[in-house]
Chain A
């Protein structure tokens, strides 16, 4: 039933080697420092890059399998993919963008309404704000009823307030949609507020300790720990 990913790929600075699943109605937050291979993983799921070896499958469909030489083109995977920066088509209005890959105009209009941008639907992308553009990109991805949704740091270019608002939108989305959602972020707060499951990725591998190291305020080992301890002792005496 799930979207299963088990892939290896040699990247410029490290080898990507990762294995995970994302279930329907689940939001998986993929988190890690910049340049840890998160976008590469998403691109391989979407079919825009191919892994060196491994397997990607969804339900009973295999999208990639190196041993059986299976590769399904991105066109046939029917995924929703919202890119890090704006990829709306500049020559089309927001409404035309939202309806780009569907014949169901009503669905596109409903989505624009749901995301609060239907009053801007006749504007071109360069005449609306960054947040409104990314909302429209989500509408575009959802309008064709995708089988899974990939969100690659969709709000990283936005200011704090816009990010908070859009995060609420994604929460609503998560509760309504029945497909798996993979959400890439490097913002720990964002991951905690949205995710059903958190997947920390560091240098192309799952690193369960990374999250702990990043959020713990007290250093656990080494000289700083000793110093902290010593100060406490002095105070106690």
Chain B
């Protein structure tokens, strides 16, 4: 069995989880606590990847990240290379598509925090940022962990979007899901079966952990 696609998948999941755990927390804070015009439009926009077919998302990301797209051009002027068909490219695409999966549990965890705890923190002299790190984050750890696991699993299973943005470059963008699809196409059922079997227990165990976290929360 070729282990490299599994390794690429793992690397992609870890990268996406790391990016999103840091990025989604302040976004979730904004959606949970701040009032600003157009909030529901922004929230719906962020959640759009959850409702669109991955190929549609992949198509738009391909256009945006391509040599004529805004992000693609910016990237090229900065690094001289292309973002498409690279690991960085699929990591960015995967982060965009998994963002709703990080945002929802975090936002729910933040909203569950008693407002009076925050008021007490403000009266005790903490700024909003300090209260975020010293009160909100430590009291939403299980929500954050749930978000991280969901993102990890979702990026493990990403297929359409990776194929659109990354193609199938071995060792770079050929993730397990794509390798399984290609193995089936070339009638190599043994290879496809083995690789599939590797993914099932990982996903199952992580989902059990999410359940446990949810139970602890309630």
Using a CB–CB distance below 8 Å, which chain A residues touch chain B?
46-48, 73-79, 81, 83, 85, 87, 89-91, 100-101, 140-141, 144
Contact = CB atoms under 8 A, between A and B. Distances in A.
B122 A73 contact: yes
B215 interface: no
Contacts, number: 48
A141 B123 CA distance: 9
Interface residues of B, number: 15
Nearest to B130: A75
A141 to B, nearest CB: 8
Contacts of A46: 123
5 contacts: A81-B120, A83-B116, A100-B124, A140-B124, A141-B124
B124 A144 contact: yes
B114 interface: yes
Nearest to A83: B116
Interface of B is mostly: helix
Contacts of B123: 46-48, 74-75, 77, 79, 81
Contacts of B116: 83, 85, 87
B123 to A, nearest CB: 5
B38 interface: no
B114 A101 contact: no
Contacts of A73: 122
Contact of A87 (B117, B138, B139): B117
A180 B123 CA distance: 17
B43 interface: no
Contact of B114 (A78, A87, A91, A140): A87
Interface in B112-154: 114, 116-117, 119-127, 135, 138-139
A77 B127 CA distance: 13
Given A87-B116, A89-B117, A144 B122 contact: no
B125 A78 contact: yes
B139 A91 contact: yes
Given A83-B120, A90-B117, 16 more contacts: A46-B123, A75-B122, A75-B123, A75-B125, A83-B119, A87-B114, A87-B117, A87-B120, A89-B117, A89-B135, A89-B138, A90-B139, A100-B124, A101-B126, A140-B124, A141-B124
Contacts of B120: 81, 83, 87, 89
A91 B138 contact: yes
A101 B139 contact: no
B218 to A, nearest CB: 15
Nearest to B124: A101
